[in-house]
Amino acid sequence: MSKLRVLVGVKRTLDYMLKPRINPAKTGVDLAGQKMSINPFCDIAVEEAIRIKETQKDRVEDTLVVTAGPSASEQILRQSLAKGIQRASLIDVGNKELEPLSVAKLLKATVEKEKSNLVILGKQAIDDDAHQTGGMLAAMLGWPQFTSASKVAFEGDKVVVTREIDGGAETLSSPLPAVITTDLRLNVPRFANLAKVMKARKAPLGKLTPEDLGVPIENRLQTLSVEEPVSKRQSIMVKNVDEFVKTLKELKAL
């Protein structure tokens, strides 16, 4: 059976518990002073890679977590190491915004450098909701992609993935290499214990730039505006039918 070299791509996003606020220029979400965390779908991807390492044991040669982002993204890499991922690598892009195509190119170069044969990504990043990186990466590598995975298993040299589809589930298999993108119900990510968190603080991280990987960062899209969702209509409590009719007339709805 071929050895598994698993690469997990993770993104640092606004913490999912926070309500996003639009920045004054209306070009995106205001991140100043906000809590940033690992994208929830990426946390599920990390958990799945650790479970594969635990269940497939000697078959797993490597688990590597990679992020492209500012240096502050180190935090989500260390968190993944504390949970059980073996190695971590930061592709430092400073404060440059990355479009999914650039991320996919950076991940492709990393997959080739690391000789990975299984890539696990989130199905979407909750900040851009792009849903693009996994598909672009699989296409550029020429690999099959399992989208919206809710179960991952292995049968000999094949990976077997159950996917969530409308009103049911579909199970597919393919030989490696492959890309898997995770859905919410794939697993429940673990918490790392304090001792492991402390140890991961000092763990070595690989650091690269897009230039090291030979990938120029080119953005093609320009954000024209970002709007808040339309606020819910105000409710008015009425005591009886007469008051209801009167209110409708006042609002010119009758």
Least distance CB 156 / ligand AMP (angstroms): 27
**Nearer CB in complex with ligand AMP: 86/247:** 86
121 is a contact residue toward ligand AMP (CB under 6 A): yes
Q: What is the Cα gyration radius of the chain?
A: 22
Least distance CB 12 / ligand AMP (angstroms): 8
Binding mask 43-82 for ligand AMP (x = CB under 6 A): --x--------------------xxxx-------------
Stretch 149-168 residues interacting with ligand AMP (CB under 6 A): none
Of 1, 206, 185, 176, the closest CA to residue 85 belongs to 206
122 is a contact residue toward ligand AMP (CB under 6 A): yes
CA distance linking residue 19 with residue 131, whole number of Å? 21
10 is a contact residue toward ligand AMP (CB under 6 A): yes
Taking CB under 6 A as the binding criterion, the range among 120-128, 153-161, 193-201, 231-239 that sits at the site for ligand AMP is: 120-128
Least distance CB 239 / ligand AMP (angstroms): 49
The H or E element containing residue 78 is helix 74-83
CA distance linking residue 148 with residue 183, whole number of Å? 5
**Nearer CB in complex with ligand AMP: 131/196:** 131
238 contacts: CB under 8 Å, gap ≥ 6:
244, 247
CA distance linking residue 195 with residue 187, whole number of Å? 24
Exposure of 253 by Cβ count < 10 A (0-12 exposed, 13-18 middle, 19+ buried)? Answer: exposed
Could you count the other beta carbons within 10 Å of the beta carbon of residue 197?
A: 15
**For ligand AMP, which residue has the nearest CB?**
122
CA distance linking residue 173 with residue 193, whole number of Å? 35
158-165/118-122 β-pairing = unpaired
Least distance CB 137 / ligand AMP (angstroms): 8
Number of residues that bind ligand AMP (CB under 6 A): 24
138 is a contact residue toward ligand AMP (CB under 6 A): no
Considering only 74, 128, 164, 183, the residue that binds ligand AMP (CB under 6 A) is 128
Of 104, 43, 102, the closest CA to residue 75 belongs to 43
Considering only 42, 76, 111, 208, the residue that binds ligand AMP (CB under 6 A) is 42
- Provide the phi-psi class of 31: left if phi over 0, else alpha when psi is between -120 and 50, else beta: alpha
Of 114, 131, 118, the closest CA to residue 11 belongs to 131
Taking CB under 6 A as the binding criterion, the range among 52-60, 123-131, 155-163, 238-246 that sits at the site for ligand AMP is: 123-131
Taking CB under 6 A as the binding criterion, the range among 3-11, 23-31, 186-194, 197-205 that sits at the site for ligand AMP is: 3-11
Least distance CB 129 / ligand AMP (angstroms): 6
Binding site for ligand AMP (CB under 6 A): 9-11, 39, 41-42, 45, 66-69, 98, 100, 103, 121-122, 124-125, 128, 130-134
